[in-house]
């Protein structure tokens, strides 16, 4: 029996085996690791591609949106150069936060997301930007094209979550969230992360 070319006999690796999206950098694909309903931090295992328990959240904060990464991206030297100050990327795929009006409570799902902006962030001094996007098929947010189309409280909650999600009492806070940026800057970051990925792993 022959299989169609699009059929996967084995599960593809979420980082390397999925496509970046149908129209990057505007419309990308997101692999979701976290939902707003869990206080466990999950992260894709880079060797196997399965979702691994990274840690229980120490604080009570939960992610305000769906949270995952864009396949075939890498926060490498080009992403670091956009931040400036001689910074380097953190060496992980580019993170993405996806706003959805209807609750989605499952992880390890893939979805199409329309990019509208991002948050500039450092984690232990390395660039770890968070792209902000809208679920492409969302009925409430479908007209949103810029980060200013979202209520300020959503951006405030995202900023607070990433400012505190690695907080340990008595220790220096490793993350620093600075400015939010609009879609055009987010497009530059995504394109740079795609180029960083191609250089590291091949197109």
Domains of the chain: 27-201 (3.90.80.10)
- In percent, how much of the chain has pLDDT > 70? 98
Which two tokens mark 67?
A: 């949270």
Which residue has better confidence, 170 or 156? 156
Which residues fall within 8 angstroms of residue 8, CB to CB, at 6 or more apart? 17
Of the candidates 154, 116, 155, the residue with the CA atom closest to the CA atom of residue 136: 116
Q: What is the 3-state secondary structure (H, E, C) of 28-86?
A: EEEEEEECCCCCEEEEECCCCCCEEEEEECCCCCCCCCEEEECCCCCCCHHHHHHHCCC
What is the pLDDT at residue 2? Answer: 63
With 90 as the cut, is the pLDDT of residue 165 above it? Answer: no
With 60 as the cut, is the pLDDT of residue 201 above it? Answer: yes
Task: Among 47-56, 73-82, 189-198, name the one with the lowest average pLDDT.
Answer: 47-56
Give the predicted TM-score (pTM) of the model.
0.94
With 70 as the cut, is the pLDDT of residue 1 above it? Answer: no
What is the pLDDT at residue 109? Answer: 96
Of the candidates 123, 129, 31, 147, the residue with the CA atom closest to the CA atom of residue 79: 129
Residue 192: φ, ψ to 5°: -65, -40
Average pLDDT of the chain to the nearest whole number = 92
What is the pLDDT at residue 146? Answer: 95
What SS3 state is found at 191? Answer: helix
pLDDT confidence bin for 3, thresholds 50/70/90: low
With 90 as the cut, is the pLDDT of residue 57 above it? Answer: no
């Amino acid at each position: 029996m022959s299989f169609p070319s699009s059929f996967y006999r084995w599960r593809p690796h979420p980082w390397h085996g999925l496509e970046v999206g149908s129209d990057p950098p505007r419309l990308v694909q997101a692999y979701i690791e976290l939902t707003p309903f869990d206080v466990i931090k999950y992260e894709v295992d880079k060797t196997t591609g399965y979702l691994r328990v990274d840690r229980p959240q120490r604080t009570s904060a939960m992610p305000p949106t769906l949270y995952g990464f864009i396949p075939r991206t890498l926060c490498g030297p080009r992403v670091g150069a956009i931040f400036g100050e001689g910074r380097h990327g953190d060496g992980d795929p580019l993170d993405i936060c996806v706003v959805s009006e209807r609750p989605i409570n499952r992880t390890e799902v893939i979805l199409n997301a329309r990019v509208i902006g991002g948050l500039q962030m450092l984690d232990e001094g390395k660039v770890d930007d968070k792209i902000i996007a809208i679920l492409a098929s969302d009925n409430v947010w479908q007209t949103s094209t810029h980060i200013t189309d979202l209520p300020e409280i959503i951006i405030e909650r995202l900023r607070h979550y990433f400012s505190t999600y690695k907080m340990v009492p008595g220790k220096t806070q490793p993350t620093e969230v600075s400015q939010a940026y609009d879609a055009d800057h987010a497009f530059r970051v995504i394109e740079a992360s795609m180029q960083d990925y191609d250089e590291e792993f091949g197109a």
